[in-house]
Structure formats: structure tokens, C-alpha cells
Amino acid sequence: MTSSAEIAVLPPSLVEMVTRHVRAEVLSGGLEPGKRVGEEALCARLGTSRAPVREALRLLAQEGLIEHLPRRGFRVAVWSATDILQLFELRRVLEQHAMESAFPLAEEGDPLREVRGALKDMRVADAAGDLFERDNAHRRFHGEIVALAGNRQLDLAYAPILLKLQLPMARNMRREERVTARHNGIRRHEDLLAALEANDSAVACAALRQHGERAYLDLEIR
């Protein structure tokens, strides 16, 4: 295992580089669920020592994207269809609670500024074909909606669910692109933002129920 002394002197940018690389491979489907993530292969491919690779894998395990198997190393996390559907249901319950608590929003300033910013980043990344950054902005969009409630404990409860859903959310949008018009996923989020702009919890919650975040999930029981 990587010692605390080793972690303390690791260049943050090096750990971030490895973390970003592995996360992108998992979210893009380059590394399928259950696929082994070899430390030596990563070191050779990225030209790094084991310390940053191990720290990156530890961070990704905390996110729920990969899992550590005692004496067998790391593999891409495997979630059952039931796990994924339960996580999506928890996400919806927390988002609905946030909307019910947040609205009506304060009239001064622009309380939806961060939500708008995340959607703008989704559009930019989508137009550039940068699916990794679009995934990041997608998660931030939903995180900023929950943050509207101004409830720290709600934010803390929501964050790990959103992290565990990184892969299903990314796959959902990719499959949506294949079976519908490319930008439908962006339009769904534009519709949700438009509902938030009505500044009415009933309108916002109705839009959330129609959001269709699970419409293109390709679930397999594992």
C-alpha cells in the first residue's frame, strides 16, 4: 500500500493525471465493468511510478468507479441492475426534496447562475465532442440543483450517490445519442432548467418526474 509519507510528497498534478485517465476510460466504456485495472500496465502506459497510480486508484475506489479486491488488485466496479435503479431512485428523492425546500428562490441576483453555468459547460463540451467534460458538467448540473436548497447535510448525502452513478449516467447519455438525435440529452436538461426558472416547486418537481434520466439505461443483472 502507498504510505502516508509517499502520498504527502506526490505531485498533485501527477495523481490527478492518472485519476483523470482511468476515470475517462471507465466512463467511456474503454474499461468495462469487472475489467481488471492493472497497476503495472498503467505505470508503463503513463510513464509513472506506482505511488501516484495507487493513490489514483484509491481515490477512484472512494468514488465507487473501481473496487479493490484483496490480494487480487483493482477492477472496474460491477453494479447490479437493482443497485443502479435503487441509486437513481435515491437521487430522485433527494433532488425532489431539494426542489421542495428551495422554491421559491430569492428574487435578488441570479440563484440559478451555477446551474446555468453547468448547462453551458455541457453544451460546449458536447459541441466539441468532449464526452468526459460533458459528463463532469452533467453531474455538476444536478449537484447545483440540489445545492439550491442550501442544506449542507443534503449536499453531503447526495454527493456519494452522484459519484456512484457516474458510470450509469454517462452510459445513459451515450446510448441516448445512438438511438435519438445527438443533442436530445442537452435538450432534456434545458427543459429542466426552464422549469426551474418558473420558480415554482410544483413545476420543478413535475419536470423532474418527466426528466427521463433512466430512459436509455441498458441494464444487465450481474
Of 36, 17, 63, give the one whose Cα is nearest residue 164.
63
Question: What residue has cell string 502506459?
Answer: 45
Percent of the chain with pLDDT over 90: 47
> If you classify domain 81-209 with CATH, what class do you get?
mainly alpha
> Which residues are CB-contacts of 115 (< 8 A; sequence separation ≥ 6)?
141, 144, 145, 148, 193, 196
Domain boundary assignment for the chain = 4-76, 81-209
CB 23 within 8 A of CB 167: no
Global pTM exceeds 0.85: no
Question: What residue has cell string 486508484?
Answer: 57
pLDDT at 2 over 70: no
* pLDDT per position as a tens digit, 151-177: 999 999 999 898 888 888 888 888 877
> Which residues are CB-contacts of 207 (< 8 A; sequence separation ≥ 6)?
191, 192, 194, 195, 196
Cα gap 43→56, rounded to integer Å: 12
At 11, the pLDDT band (50, 70, 90 cuts) reads low
- Domain covering 4-76 in this structure, CATH number: 1.10.10.10
